[in-house]
Each structure stands twice: as structure tokens, then as C-alpha cells.
Amino acid sequence: MTRSIPFEQWPADDWRSRASAVIPGGSSTGSKRPDALYGSRANDASVPSHYERASGCRVWSTDGREFVDCGMALGAVGIGYADPAITKAVQDAAASGSVSSLPHRLEVEVAEQLVNVIPCAERVRFLRTGAEATAAAVRLARSITGRERIIACGYFGWLDWNSDAAGVPASAKALVSWVPYGDSEALDAALRDDTLPAAIIIEPLVHDIAPKAWLERARRLADQCGALLIFDEVKTAFRVRTGGVQALTGVTPDLTAIGKALANGYPLAAVVGRADVMDGMRHTWVSSTAAAETTGLAAARAVLHWHEQLDVCERMATAGGVLQEIIGSALLEAPWVGVRAEGPPMMWRLTTDVPEQLDALVAAAAREGVLLKRGAYQFGAVAHDDDALELVARAMPAVMESLLPGPRRVDD
């Protein structure tokens, strides 16, 4: 394969072109690819493609423009970018040597703290990503039960066990039975299959927080058939509640995958659960050289301190709710845009029947200094202060006006 222009010849400040020349898709994170960020407006030179720095809830692009961020790193940052206390903890951990041939005491300390705040947690194993954590939970369930089939509802990352992407063996796909969100009849039907499952794994917030009755039914069915119940709380722990949806609903799974806001954007995840189940880790293999690297653990300890001192989840929900009200009200007053703001305030989404209209909205908002996540989700953060919320409110009239049909439209 040849390049029309070698990457060395792109202008130094053309980060979009430089990225496309050396990174397939333009970003190593799927949701940050230009076509994922802006859809049909991916090639619009007026919208930002890369950032230079971030602080609080603000992001500065490579050309120096300032934005209020409503996506907060796909929900990974709940406190705020470059929070001083978290940054100091990470710097101290790095300065002390972030890895060695021995495990660091932080691994023990943070595990102890997680046992205190996650309802199902009696034991903890650390990893780096949410996808790893859900995969570890599924492997553990298969190891303990001696079964292979999984009943699933939600999104659990990119790894083979749950993906229908190109390159995934058909044999792996055949082992997962998918059920619609909140559908008790489908859950019952999946359990009537002749092949008993190793686990029922649920993401307990998709369009909205999962109905308690549905989660309770999953709990009963798992117990009846000898399967494990797994919650993927990668997005919801430390956001819906410190202890996740299970702390809100009182429905306790056997295993839980956590990550994202656990470490305020630093790479750390974990699978946690009942002691007798987690002890099954001794009989299978889940391991990573960087699983307990200390910068992520130090960030998590600092985040947990935040949760001890402040109702962080209430603050995030309040900020998210204000953002949803500001943007949702503007959309209601501008029906020509054809986009809706839906979902719970701590993580809501933009929906539309015409994707190109959502693309136009996201691009127009970016031009006015507001970064919206195309689709799901918008996340409130502690750092969304009154000044930032006011900036979003001031930007919305211009955003909506720019999307008026006909000759007044200025974004073509």
C-alpha cells in the first residue's frame, strides 16, 4: 500500500491528517475516531480533532480553542481533568517507581477500600481496562461452573467472548445468547435452552437504570440454574452510586466489573465479588504485567477519598441534570434540529431518527465551544461549575440558530 502524501510531509499542525496517515481510523480509541465523534461531519475542518491539555471540565484543542466537555473522556473522568489532589497522588506514585518485581502496598489498600464500598465485593483482582474486567469475570464463571454458554445484555468491550466484529470466530459468538434490555420474558426463554449458562451478565444502565424487578428476576434465575450473576458496572460504579447500581437497587450480583471513574481517567479496572467465587481465580489464569501498576491505584485511592469527603455521585448527577436541562430545553425550542436529550441525569444521551441531524448538532456545538458526545453518553462531573454551565447555556441559542434550515443556515 502506498500513501498519496507521506506522513512526514503533512503540515505540522494538521493533526487530523497526520493521525490518519499512521493510525488506522485516526485514533486508537474507537469512540474518538473522527467519524465516531462527528459522523458525516468528520471532515469538517472547523471542529476539533485533538487536544493539547485538559483541566476541570475544559479542554483546549491543538489550535488553542477552549471547550466545555460534556463527554468527560467517555465517562472515565468524574471529578475533573487534572484534579490537583489526584494528579499529586499519581506523580508521587510515579516518582516512587510505579512497578517492581513485588506488588505494591497500594494494591492491598485500594482493594480493602473497594471491599468497603461495592456491595458484592469480598475479594478484588485488578486489571487495566473494563473489557479485561468483564472478560475475567466471564472466564471465572466458566471455570467455576464448568459451563461455556453466557446469557448477556449490554456492551462489554471489544474482546472475542462477546463481540460480533470481523475476525471473531463463529464458535465464540455461538456461546453467547443475547437478550433485550429489561425483557423478562426473553430472559426466561434464554434459560429454557437445553444448555445451562455459566453466567448471566448484565449492564445495568443502558437507556435508563435497569428495572429492579428485572434485576431481581435475573438474580433468581441465576440461583435456580446454578449460574453466576455478573454486573458490568464499568460506567455506573462511582457514578450512579459509589457502589454502583447494585447499591441503588439492592440487587447484589456474584461478580462485578468496575473501571472508568474508579481512577478518574487513569487506566485501572477490577473484577470484584463474593469470596468463594473470587477464590476460583486460583484455578484459572487472569494476569497482566501492568495490572497493579501504581499510578492507577494511586489515582483510585485519591478518587475514593473524594467519595469519602463529598457526595460525588450526587454532584455528578446534579451537573449532568443541569446540562441535560439546558441542552434538552434548547432542543425542544428548536424542533427543526430533530434531536432529543434522554436518559438519567448522571449519564444521558442524544437521540435522533436522522443521524445526519445529530452530526450537525455536535459539529455546531463544537464551533460554539461545547463538546457533545454523539449519541451516548453525556456525563456530568464535579468540575462542571456554574461558569461552565453558564457558558453552555449561552452557546445554545447560536448553536440552534446555525442549524435553521434554508438561507439563514451558516454551517454548510
- Higher confidence at residue 6 or residue 376? 376
Using an 8 Å Cβ cutoff, are 55 and 66 in contact?
Answer: no
Confidence at residue 6, expressed as pLDDT on a 0 to 100 scale: 64
Using an 8 Å Cβ cutoff, are 193 and 148 in contact?
Answer: no
The answer, yes or no, to whether residue 192 has pLDDT greater than 70, is yes
Q: For 2-11, b where at least 16 C-beta lie within 10 A, e where not — what string?
A: eeeeeeeebe
Least confident of 59-68, 86-95, 235-244, 402-411: 402-411
Please, what is the average pLDDT of the chain? 95
- Find the mean pLDDT for residues 183-199: 94
Using an 8 Å Cβ cutoff, are 219 and 228 in contact?
Answer: no
Instruction: Tell me the pLDDT tens digit for each residue of 211-252.
Output: 999 999 999 999 999 999 999 999 999 999 999 999 999 999
Instruction: Tell me the pLDDT tens digit for each residue of 283-315.
Output: 999 999 999 999 999 999 999 999 999 999 999
What percent of the chain shows pLDDT beyond 90? 94
Every domain of the chain with CATH number 3.40.640.10 lies at 84-309
Amino acid at site 240: V
The answer, yes or no, to whether residue 84 has pLDDT greater than 80, is yes
Confidence at residue 309, expressed as pLDDT on a 0 to 100 scale: 97
Cα–Cα dist 159/403, whole Å: 39
Query: How many Å separate Cα 252 from the centre of its chain?
Result: 21
Helix 294-309 to helix 84-95 angle (10° resolution) is 150
pTM attached to this predicted model: 0.95
The answer, yes or no, to whether residue 109 has pLDDT greater than 50, is yes
347-352: strand order across its sheet: 339-342, 347-352, 376-379
Confidence at residue 407, expressed as pLDDT on a 0 to 100 scale: 55
The answer, yes or no, to whether residue 9 has pLDDT greater than 90, is no
The answer, yes or no, to whether residue 409 has pLDDT greater than 60, is no
Cα–Cα dist 377/379, whole Å: 6
Identify the sign of the CA torsion 292, 294, 300, 305.
Answer: positive
Using an 8 Å Cβ cutoff, are 223 and 252 in contact?
Answer: no
The answer, yes or no, to whether residue 1 has pLDDT greater than 60, is no
Residue with cell 449492564: 203
Region 84-309: CATH code: 3.40.640.10
The answer, yes or no, to whether residue 2 has pLDDT greater than 50, is no
Using an 8 Å Cβ cutoff, are 327 and 390 in contact?
Answer: no
Confidence at residue 410, expressed as pLDDT on a 0 to 100 scale: 45
Confidence at residue 10, expressed as pLDDT on a 0 to 100 scale: 67
Least confident of 2-6, 148-152, 278-282: 2-6
Cα–Cα dist 296/249, whole Å: 29
- Find the mean pLDDT for residues 27-45: 95
The answer, yes or no, to whether residue 123 has pLDDT greater than 90, is yes
